[in-house]
Structure 1
Amino acid sequence: MSSNCDFFNFIVWGVIVSCLCCFGFVGNILSLLAFARERRVPALTLLQCLASSDLVLLLSVFITDSLPYLCDHTDQCANPWKTWPYVRYMWIMTPISHMSSIWFVVLIALNRYWAVCRPHSLSTVWTNQRTPIYVSCVLVLVVSFNVPRFFEYQIIDVYDNSTNCTRLMEQNTDFGLTPSYKVIYKVMLVNILLIMLPIAALIICTGLIVYGLRTQRRRMNSQRTASNKERSPSAKARGHGARAASEITFVLVVVVVVAIICQSPLAAFHFVRYSQRYRCGDFVYYLDNISKLLVNVNSCINFVIYCVASPKFRTVLLALVSCDNEQEKVRPASSIVSDGKRDLITRNGSHVRDTNL
């Protein structure tokens, strides 16, 4: 059973997760480069923060999870956990970046809620000045919450009789072994702040956004006849803006829904892992690995969502990878993500909202 589990871990973490990390590195870097070419708006800032957090998560997972399994199974490199236990403090970036990513998705959901359900206050709540403040608050709270993890382990010198020399070894501290720390922090608080609360917020926001979109669609259908009769440039521009607004909302809602799907199994695992004991080969053992695998999938799949669901992103990405700036010069004043706050002047001089994606 142990050999089967070792092979399972090598396939999942050594092979699959390594491939996911490589794909995620490329995808998130390309996303950041594509976003950097566009004008700054709140939704774009949130997507940049999400891509950066996912990039840090994948890097940490590759070094502290995938690389050890590759080294142990192939004997081509040294397991960093055995040769350099201080990798433990690099591993701390995994829970920090994971929690940051899930709360950045919550901010994206809140941004879309305001854009769809409360558009009149969008320009005051979500501005280029306030959005970095929201992001900074999330980062400060996440890092502060994970500070106790630094004191859970310590690195000590241990004398090895076989080699007649000392070596470094990781060991739990008295604080890390405290039952109250395990129950209150690692079970209750981690479950609530990392999983239950953000997922509940995402589900509620998504439901409100979908309801708001359906209401908007019915309103647009009722006004479509009048708009078709008008046939003015301003009416056409308003229709274009409405379609673009729906497109960006669709893309960001897909990002939120995928996050819910990929993060929810981890919630189920956390409830089970502390309610019963399990070992290699048990169902909970595989649930543990699969749920963590889905978290890594979530960190690299957003790039695919942008490519599939956003024509504007594909256009900018194509110009980026082909080093073609001519396409950018002739492209109209629009961006991958816009919150509908920029006015364009039409040929007849009237002002219309542009919400291009």
Structure 2
Amino acid sequence: MEEDTLQPVLTINMTQPNMTNSTPEGGPKDSCFEIYDKAITFQFYTWGIVGNIIAAYGIIGNILAILVLRHRLMRSSTSYYLISLAVYDTGVLLAMILLFALPTIYLEKAQLMDYFFASKYMNQYLYPLALVAQTGTVYTTVGFTIERYIAVCHPLKAANTCTKSRTKRIIILIFVCSVIYNVPRFFEFTVVETWNPNLNRSVPEVMTTTLGNNKDFRKVYFICLHLIVMFLAPFVLISILNIQLMRAVKNAKKTRNRMSTNAAKEANLTIMLIAVIVVFLICQLPSIADNILFTIFDQGVLQCSLHYVHLTSISNLMVTVNSAVNFILYCVFGKRFRRVFIKIVYYPWKRKSTRYKYTLYDSSGSRRGNSMKVYNTESTFL
């Protein structure tokens, strides 16, 4: 099957069956005709409905998380990592809405046609930017996992290692490296206009460039670099360190009665981050399988397989869930996060409520033959 459409942005290997970007009027390729309707319907419900809802909620949740994490009571090196993670997650969720969820509405319901074709022009730029956000998400997770491991398992080194200034430098380094690593993606696809007789108009088509079709490039970048940089290295490291963190928390529970207040806060923060890491690993597992299949099997075979369409759609949705769920994890497992969130949301309303203050004035006067004290009252708004 000819490569004529853009790959998706939300799985780490970024693969998508080509028939999902074909116009209904033009019809799918003959080799994929049997699964076309089922694939479109499945992706409409998976991305167009469920994905839209999750992404919209996730964007709101990430904005709230940033507001809480920026509060003076939450400022720490870990909060800087989590703010960076929320920014990257928001980028991934926006890509889900703009490049996946909305276009499926046209493919299934024949609505938003103008946006569907406009999205193909956006693909050329949003696609690599979303990949930058996804790479940043992975390595920001690696960053705060390493920091938490040092803070919990090597506390004597934490004072000099886990500092705010160093964290800021690491965050900048992650961003720069994410951009550099994904530079080839900006040259992988191009948009050309072709005449569609069914629509009686020119329509944009996303085509793979010479670089994108180069076998050596695909072998080195996708098979060698991609599996190591985006999967093996970060996931193995995160898994090993997370196991160590779980053991440390388990040992800490045995001595909880002897914990100081600061130690208890550190343990609670560790539990919250372990929850974030575990959800991250679970949500990324389908995309790992997707990547392995993408590198092993012929794309033409995969793209005409309904099972592979289901796997790709679900893996994209799981990555969306991962980018949207962190605010809930912070609220459930983070005691300080909950307190600060309530302080931000509740107390401004409480301060706006009308209250009265009554002040008593001692105006004791010396009347002739009378030593009576008279108290005057005054009511004021707070």
Identify whether the pair has TM-score above 0.5, normalized to the shorter chain.
Answer: yes
* 1:50 to partner: Cα distance: 0.6
Aligned length: 312
1:65 aligns with 2:86: no
Alpha carbons of 1:114 and 1:326: their partners in 2 closer, same or farther (altered >3 Å)? farther
Aligned to 2:154: 118
Distance 1:321 1:74 in 2: 40
Alpha carbons of 1:260 and 1:68: their partners in 2 closer, same or farther (altered >3 Å)? same
How many percent of aligned residue pairs carry the same amino acid?
Answer: 25
**SS of the counterpart of 2:302?**
coil
* 1:207 to partner: Cα distance: 1.4
- The within-5 A match list for 1:105-254 is 105-158=141-194, 167-218=203-254, 220=255, 224=257, 239-254=260-275
1:285 aligns with 2:331: no
Matched to 1:320, the amino acid is: I
Alpha carbons of 1:181 and 1:159: their partners in 2 closer, same or farther (altered >3 Å)? same
Alpha carbons of 1:14 and 1:322: their partners in 2 closer, same or farther (altered >3 Å)? same
Distance 1:79 1:11 in 2: 21
* 1:296 to partner: Cα distance: 0.8
Alpha carbons of 1:119 and 1:60: their partners in 2 closer, same or farther (altered >3 Å)? same
Distance 2:103 2:217 in 1: 28
* 1:274 to partner: Cα distance: 2.7
Q: Give the TM-score taking structure 1 as reference length.
A: 0.81
Q: Which runs of 4+ in 1 moved over 6 A?
A: 161-165
Partner residue of 1:92 out of 128, 144, 156: 128
Distance 1:214 1:92 in 2: 41
Partner residue of 1:255 out of 276, 283, 291: 276
Distance 2:37 2:244 in 1: 48
* 1:322 to partner: Cα distance: 3.3
Partner residue of 2:342 out of 288, 293, 318: 318
Partner residue of 2:53 out of 6, 11, 19: 19
Counterpart contact for 2:76–2:164, Cα < 8 Å: yes
* 1:157 to partner: Cα distance: 4.2
Distance 2:214 2:146 in 1: 37
**SS of the counterpart of 2:113?**
coil
* 1:38 to partner: Cα distance: 2.7
* 1:183 to partner: Cα distance: 1.7
Matched to 2:60, the amino acid is: V
Q: Which runs of 5+ in 1 are unaligned?
A: 228-237, 328-357
Aligned to 1:333: none
Aligned to 1:345: none
Distance 1:41 1:91 in 2: 33
**SS of the counterpart of 1:38?**
coil
Alpha carbons of 1:60 and 1:164: their partners in 2 closer, same or farther (altered >3 Å)? closer
**SS of the counterpart of 2:205?**
strand
What's the RMSD between the two structures over aligned residues? 2.2
Counterpart contact for 2:142–2:237, Cα < 8 Å: yes
Distance 1:111 1:325 in 2: 37
Aligned to 1:45: 80
